[in-house]
Amino acid sequence: MTAAERPILPKLVGERIKRREDPRLITGHATYVDDLKLPGLLHLAFKRSDSAHGVIKNIDTSAAEQMPGVELVMTGKQLAEILGPMPIGTPFPSPDHYAIATDRVRYVGEPVAVVVAADRYLARDAADAIEVDIEELPAVVDPEKAMQGEPAAVHEGFENNLAVPYVPGGTGVDPATMEVDNSALDKAFAEADVNISQRMTNQRLAPNAMEPRGVVAHWEPGKEQITIWSGTQNPHILKTMIAAQLGVGQHQVRAIAPEVGGGFGCKINIYGEEYTAAAISRKLGAPVKWIEDRSEAFMATTHGRDILAYVDLAAKRDGTVTALKLRLIADVGAYNMLLTAAVPTLTMLMLNGTYDIPVVRAELTEVFTNKTPTDAYRGAGRPEATYFVERAFDMLAHELGMDPADVRRKNFIKKDAFPYTTQMGAIYDSGDYETALDRALQNAGWEQLKQERDQARAEGRIVGLGLAYYVEVCGLGPSASLPTGGWEHAGVTIERDGRITATTGSSPHGQGNETTFAQMLAEQFGVAFDDVTILHGDTGVVKQGIGTFGSRSQAVGGTVLMNAGEKVKKKMAKFAAAMLDANEDDLVFENGMISVKGSPGSGKTFAEVASFAYVPVPLPPGVEPGLSDEAFWEPENNTYPFGCHIVMMEIDRETGEPRLTKVVAVDDAGTIINPMIVDGQIHGGLAQGIGQAMIEEVVYDEDGQLVTGSFMDYAIPRADDLPWFEMDNTVTTTPVNPMGAKGVGEAGTLGSTPAVVNAAVDALSPFGVKHVDMMLRPEKLWRLMQGGGA
Amino acid sequence: MEISGEYHFDAPRSAVWAALLDPDALQAAMPGCERFEETGPDAYDITLRVGISAIKGTYEGTVKVTERSPEDSYRLSVDGGGKPGKVQGTALMQLTEDGGGTRVAYSGDIKAQGAIARLGSRLLGGSAKMLIGQFFKEMDKQVKQRAA
Amino acid sequence: MSEKATVSITVNGKVHEEEVEPRLLLVHFLREHLGLTGTHVGCDTSQCGACTVHIDGASAKSCTVFAAQADGSEVTTIEGVGSQDNLHPMQEGFWEEHGLQCGYCTPGMIMSAINLLNENPKPTEKEIREGIAGNLCRCTGYQHIVKAVQYAAEKGVVR
């Protein structure tokens, strides 16, 4: 085909390109962890504690050991001989946490023994046959009582159950010494026209990725190497941690994230089951598999949120907010996991919201209780911050009789004030909050909605409008902000046939990186989308990486991919220049050709240049053979995407059942590579944010028993729980990375939750309701309408 | 979880008291009772096969009668465990004259652990009420048989 | 342990005779015995629908059916719906409209959605949402799934 006959390749970046991943997923040919089969594969099952808190007196494994097909039974004490306590990723002092409890159990579902058997049914039978004798201790369930040391100590050496005793931040706090000066804070509250004061909870949630966790570990005695397949968001971190825990070199570990069925933060942590599988595979020299049941997941996979706040806001009568103070208490459950202690610090960091508030103070305490440990869950700390701030702003609007949009507009950080350093120390990169607000108000028909609401009220219906604005911290981040390292890695190779193969350390689990990254590289090189392949998730193929969390894939993983591509492109230009007898700076890459600027017919195809690069005769001076390079990159700062969510709600007067009648979202994630995928990310976030507001809540009883232990008692949104989402976006690019992309994975969960609760409170305001804690259980709303407390 | 309720017997207090504390009548009235062995005064080892909400299972446990105040009140404690988890319950049983018959009022609480707590807690109250209802109905039969 | 029983189940048009334990779930029969791993397990209380297949033409959650109960039945799994070269209109719809992200719920969702259109070829948005309410998806917020079903309805789905 001559250059003239070659089709003009379509523009790719910014276009709605169908996903590369989908054909295998829609035909049932994708390979998740549970789909893996290896010869001689053995299966693990864990015996878990039914007690929330107690001393292990005895474990009788004799019956289990004698059951057919059982290879091995190990208690926590036996496993502790080959596996030390698990590492965490935060610098706070932390109690020892063994993969399987050794002497005490501290939450319902904590493993007490593990069985290895020939198939999963036999393993489960044998685990059920283990008899555990536990001497009960009082369960620590209420975090505020726990802080007084009541009714028991979860861990020795952590007085009053304080995991993180007291971290102050914001105005008047010296970050170096942690010394606190209250003068500005006290003055602001003393001089305020209006004070808002409210205790609010951001309740505990179960992440519930549809694929439960799972692991296959295969230690090969001859090679002294282990391959571990896991449903993880970060295979390279898994590799590092497994090597450290097994006491082997990193070269002896290969970690693979195959197809991963959603993560939402709960698959960042490296879990006891993964370490146990690795240690047992090594002990037996055989491959082992463990797959989590859903009812196990409710107990054994980290939970999210669970932060309680005492919120105080000071304002002038015109709506100007002069101070904000939050006392945060995080119930972190029984142990510190990888990022447990860090998540509530992100709540602190984001307490300025989108507002130019002169005085912002936060004080954080993290408390151990006898519950499943918490860790990241979609948004991880930022939805909590947004919720507290946006509820407080709505309460202020209500108090002053102002339009909620006007209160926000009055306090926005102005467009020309960026980069803006907040009182909490965040440096917001860029923003144009008013434009997105105006767009949302316009798309929703805000003024008309208000009239509709008032009309409905006049007819005796219970209707409310809710608006919330958010800013989040994404694109994590410089290494100073991440214990794992805040960079990402990419490799780009032009194959000998001219096709491009790239590797990325951003290991996706539904985000569509194989598509978006191929769009970017194809456009960078001027080749067809189908000629670019993105590899990920295998540390044997992808040399280095961090992983997918904190909405960082595009902002960090995307940037480093372009950097690696640029290096290879420059080298490719040298080969092409030699072939074309041209200056490398005069070349253009387009339509699968490399040509001299101004004479498109004169060029060489990608395949021709690649072929020459791998057999370069003669080798151009100053160039090495081959076309492959890699890059590391970390941003200097995080990115701060933002947006506005508006909802309308009607509550059934007879039953208290809330129903959303409108959801409008305007989000600004900076530059967008694939708007279809971005919409999908926001849709999912909206659903989870609405789910938190309306139907999701992890509940423990007073004995520390988990009573929402299955989908029968823990609801996640179903298709008929949600209305049509009306989507739009503005584009404010970030100077932090060359593409200007900010990130979008978590955004939907931030604005939607407070918007829904704001709508509920607005709907119930004729009943004198000023606040209601989530979730919006119909019974709770019904009681409020009867004049009772929630 | 707290439970309370009452049941009316058309029989004098002495007859109801005698039946409620008779091992044979107890065994007959306990839903799904497969084994009932006296291990000491007012103490029994039992095997029950019952379903609590969706979870069916066999429970091994003990039954104890304490705080006996004849024909007036006693405390009944049941403690059992099986594959689906553990259940502990204790109730104060109070007998009073009621017209020509006897009213038995019970109040106490139930604690559950394991799958019963996680999967069945929503329905535990209902299941307990149903099982207690079965117990009294059967006990009523026993009282009537004894009178006959 | 109970005696094994021989079952004969036609899966995606092919007859399989296998010895199974009475307690073996159909989903494990499909996944472990036949290697058809497109059907997934997402819960253990039959709430999530990830395991949805068609038994004798109607959708069923294969985690609530014992393999022995399916003896003599015709079962269709996602692998029998269409191939990458010859996609079923519903699969096409999911691809065109971005009706999936992580893909874990997708096979079950597609099986339910096909069943829906078999019963109601031109559903309203509300009917689609109600029709797939037995299948949980944590990624998409369902909007693009609704569009995928609308796409297939537009094209006209035949079984």
Per-residue 3-state assignment (H helix, E strand, C coil) for A463-513? EEEEEEEEECCECCCCHHHCCCCCCEEEEEEECCCCCEEEEECCCCCCCCH
Distance CA B57, CA A553 (A): 48
> Which pLDDT value is given to residue C82?
95
Q: Which residue has the tokens 């250059």?
A: A3
How confident is the model at residue A99, as a pLDDT?
A: 98
Pairwise CB contact (< 8 Å): A709 & B118: yes
C33 touches chain A (CB under 8 A): no
CA distance A105 to A321: 47
Torsion of CA A159, A162, A165, A169, to 10 degrees: -170
What distance in Å separates residue B94's CA from the closest CA in chain A?
27
CB A437 within 8 A of CB A403: no
- Low-confidence spans in chain A with pLDDT less than 70: 1-5, 788-790
Q: Number of CB pairs < 8 Å for A and C?
A: 183
Please report all neighbours of C, defined by 3+ CB atom pairs within 8 A. A
User: For residue C7, what are the contacts with CB-CB under 8 A and spacing of at least 6?
Assistant: C17, C18, C20, C29, C67, C68, C70, C71
For chain A, the helix, strand and coil percentages under 3-state DSSP, each to the nearest 5: 30, 25, 40
In a shared domain, residues C10 and C66: yes
Tally of domains in chain C: 2
Considering only CA atoms, which of A375, A326, A373 is closest in space to residue A348? A326
Nearest of B1, B39, B7 to residue B132 by alpha carbon: B7
With an 8 Å Cβ cutoff, are A26 and C36 in contact? no
User: How does DSSP classify residue A373?
Assistant: P
Q: Which chain A residues in 274-303 lie under 8 Å from chain C, judged by CB atoms? A: 293-295
The reply to whether residue C98 touches residue A677, judged by beta carbons under 8 angstroms, is: yes
Do the chains contact at C78 and A718, CB–CB below 8 Å? no
For position B106, which CATH number holds? Answer: 3.30.530.20
Final residue before a domain boundary, out of C45, C80, C115: C80
Distance separating alpha carbons of residues A725 and C145, to the nearest angstrom: 13
Same domain, C97 and C70: no
For an interface test with A, which of C105, C138, C144 has the most A Cβ atoms less than 10 Å from its Cβ? Answer: C138
Minimal-distance CA residue of chain C relative to A298: C43
Contact list in A for residue B114 (CB cut-off 8 A) is: 50
Query: C103 vs A748: CB contact, 8 Å cut-off?
Result: no
With a threshold of 0.90, tell me whether the complex ipTM lies above it. yes
d(CA A361, CA A569): 49
Residues 6+ apart with CB under 8 A from A234: A257, A268, A484, A507, A545, A546, A547, A548, A549
pLDDT digits (tens, 9 = 90+) for A647-706: 999 999 999 999 999 999 999 999 999 999 999 999 999 999 999 999 999 999 999 999
Mutate one of C98, C130, C144, C151 to test the A interface: name it (highest A CB count within 10 A): C98
Tokens of B70: 């004849």
HSE (side-chain half, CA atoms, 13 Å) at C81? 35
Q: Does C41 touch chain A (CB under 8 A)?
A: yes
CA distance linking residue A651 with residue A657, whole number of Å: 5
A784: helix, coil or strand?
A: helix
C68 vs C9: CA distance, rounded Å? 9
Map residue C32 onto helix, strand or coil. Answer: helix
In chain C, residues with a C-beta closer than 8 Å to the C-beta of A509 are: 102
Task: Give pLDDT, residue B54.
Answer: 59
Flag if C38 and A29 touch (Cβ within 8 Å).
yes
What residues of A are in the B interface, CB distance below 8 Å?
50-51, 108, 128, 295, 298-299, 701, 703, 705-707, 709-710, 712-713
Give the residue on C whose Cα is nearest the Cα of A674.
C98
CB A686 within 8 A of CB A670: no
End residue of a domain, out of C80, C102, C120: C80
Work out the minimum CA distance from B113 to partner chain A, whole angstroms. 6
Closest C-alpha among A643, A47, A26, A701 to residue A370: A701
Residues C17 and C59 in one domain: yes
pLDDT of residue A177: 93
pLDDT of residue A192: 98
Q: Is A35 on the interface with C (CB under 8 A)?
A: yes
Burial of A343 (0-12, 13-18, 19+ CB in 10 A): buried
Q: Smallest Cα–Cα separation from C77: which of C28, C12, C7, C8? A: C12
**Which positions in chain A touch B111 (Cβ < 8 Å)?**
703
Do both C18 and C47 map to the same domain? yes
pLDDT of residue B48: 86
Residues C76 and C106 occupy one common structural domain: no
Strands C5-11 and C74-76, sheet pairing: parallel
CB contact under 8 A, B121 and A705: yes
Residues from chain A that touch C140, judged by Cβ atoms under 8 A, are 680, 683-684, 687
| Closest chain B C-alpha to A28 CA, distance in angstroms | 31
Domain that holds residue C100: 89-155
Q: Is the pLDDT of residue B88 over 70?
A: yes
Q: Which residue of A has its CA nearest to B53?
A: A712
Q: Is the dihedral of CA A190, A191, A196, A199 positive or negative?
A: negative
C64 plus C24 within the same structural domain: yes
Task: Give me the helices (H) in A591-655, please.
Answer: 606-614
Nearest CA in chain C to A720: C129
Q: Are C29 and C18 in contact (CB under 8 A)?
A: yes
Residues C15, C76 within the same domain: yes
Enclosing domain of residue B97 = 2-147
Query: Do C100 and A722 make contact, defined as CB atoms within 8 angstroms?
Result: no
Query: Residue A357's CB: how many other CB atoms inside 10 A?
Result: 26
Contacts of A27 in chain C (CB under 8 A): 38, 78-79, 81-84, 87, 91
Question: C124 touching A, CB under 8 A?
Answer: no
If one counts every other C-beta atom within 10 angstroms of the C-beta of residue A768, the result is 8
- Identify whether residues C96 and C75 lie together within a single domain: no
Asked whether A666 and A508 are in contact (CB, 8 A), the reply is no
Is B121 close to A710, i.e. CB distance below 8 A? no
Query: Is residue B51 pLDDT above 80, yes or no?
Result: no
CB A639 within 8 A of CB A555: yes
Q: How far is CA B97 from CA A132, B17, B66, B77, B102, in A?
A: 46, 12, 22, 24, 5
A49, A133, A301, A705, best to mutate vs chain B, most B CBs in 10 Å: A705
Which pLDDT score, from 0 to 100, does residue C1 have?
Answer: 47
pLDDT reported for residue B85? 83
**At CB < 8 A and 24+ separation, what contacts does A122-128 make?**
A122/A43, A122/A67, A122/A68, A122/A69, A122/A70, A123/A43, A123/A44, A123/A45, A123/A70, A124/A45, A125/A67, A126/A45, A126/A64, A126/A65, A126/A67, A126/A69, A126/A70, A126/A73, A127/A45, A127/A46, A127/A47, A127/A64, A128/A47, A128/B83
Pairwise CB contact (< 8 Å): A716 & C145: no
Report the SS3 class of residue C64.
coil
**B117:A50 CB<8 A:** yes
Chains A & B: contacts with CB separation below 8 Å: 42
CA neighbor of A697 nearest in space, from A327, A201, A146: A201
Comparing CB atoms, the residue among B83, B111, B117 nearest residue A707 is B117
Residue in the structure block whose two tokens are 């926001």: A682
Give the Cβ contact number of residue C6 at 10 Å.
10
Distance CA C84, CA A148 (A): 61
Q: Is the pLDDT of residue B52 over 70?
A: no
> Are C60 and C28 found together in one domain?
yes
| Cis peptide upstream of residue A775 (ω within 30 degrees of 0) | yes
CA-based end-to-end distance of chain B? 38
Residues from chain C that touch A123, judged by Cβ atoms under 8 A, are: none
What is the token pair recorded at A705? Answer: 């028993």
Query: For residue A566, what are its two tokens?
Result: 């640029």
Confidence grade of residue B117 (pLDDT, cut at 50, 70, 90): confident
Residue where a domain terminates, one of C37, C62, C80: C80
Q: Which two tokens stand for residue A601?
A: 């017919």
Q: Report the residue of chain B nearest A51, measured CA to CA.
A: B113
Q: Is A720 on the interface with C (CB under 8 A)?
A: yes
| Residue in chain A nearest B114 by alpha carbon | A50
- A707 contacts B122? CB cut-off 8 A: yes
The shortest CB-CB distance from B112 to any of A299, A705, A710 is to A705
- A754-766 pLDDT, tens per residue? 999 999 999 999 9
Looking at chain A from residue 109 to 128, which residues have their Cβ under 8 Å from any Cβ of chain C?
A: 121
Same domain, C33 and C71: yes
In this prediction, residue A292 carries a pLDDT of 98
- Residue B22 is which amino acid? D
CATH code: domain of residue C149: 1.10.150.120
Output phi, psi for A245, to 5 deg.
-70, -35
Q: Give chain A's mean pLDDT.
A: 96
Q: Are C74 and C104 contained in the same domain?
A: no
Q: Do C101 and A34 touch (CB under 8 A)?
A: no
- CB contact (8 A) between residue B118 and residue A51: no
Q: Does C26 touch chain A (CB under 8 A)?
A: no
Shortest CA distance from A512: residue in chain C: C101
Query: Residue C157 is which amino acid?
Result: V
pLDDT < 70 regions, chain C = 1-2, 157-159
Query: What is the CATH classification number for the domain harbouring C66?
Result: 3.10.20.30
Which domains, and CATH codes, for chain A? 3-30+479-633 (3.30.365.10), 33-137+212-260+267-300 (3.90.1170.50), 379-474+638-785 (3.30.365.10)
Strands A253-256 and A420-421: unpaired
B132-136 contacts, C-beta under 8 A, 24 or more apart: B132/B3, B132/B5, B132/B106, B134/B31, B135/B29, B135/B30, B135/B31, B136/B7, B136/B29, B136/B104
Nearest-10 crossing angle of helices B115-147, B13-20: 130
Residues A472 and A742: their CA atoms lie apart, in Å, by 10
Within 8 A of A139 by CB-CB distance, chain B residues are: none
8 Å CB contact of B119 and A705: no
Considering its fold, how many domains does chain B have in total?
Answer: 1
